[in-house]
Homo-oligomer: A and B are copies of this chain.
Amino acid sequence: MLSLETMQQHIAPLFPGLMGVRLVEVTPERVVGELVVRPELCTSGEIMHGGAYMAFADTLGAVGTVLNMERGKRTTTTDSSTKFIGGAKLNTTVVGESVPLHRGRTTQVWQTSIRTAEGKLCAVVTQTQLILG
Chain A interface residues toward B at CB < 8 A: 10, 13-18, 39-45, 49-52, 54-59, 62, 74, 76-87, 101-102, 104, 106-107, 109, 111, 121, 124, 126, 128, 130, 132
User: From A57, which residue of chain B is reached at the shortest CB distance?
Assistant: B51
Cβ contacts under 8 Å, A18 to chain B: 18, 40-41
Q: Is the interface of A mostly helix, strand, loop or mixed?
A: mixed
- 7 A-B Cβ contacts within 8 A? A13-B40, A18-B40, A18-B41, A50-B77, A55-B55, A83-B102, A85-B104
Copy count, this protein chain: 4
Nearest 3 A-B pairs (CB), nearest first?
A51-B55, A81-B81, A15-B49
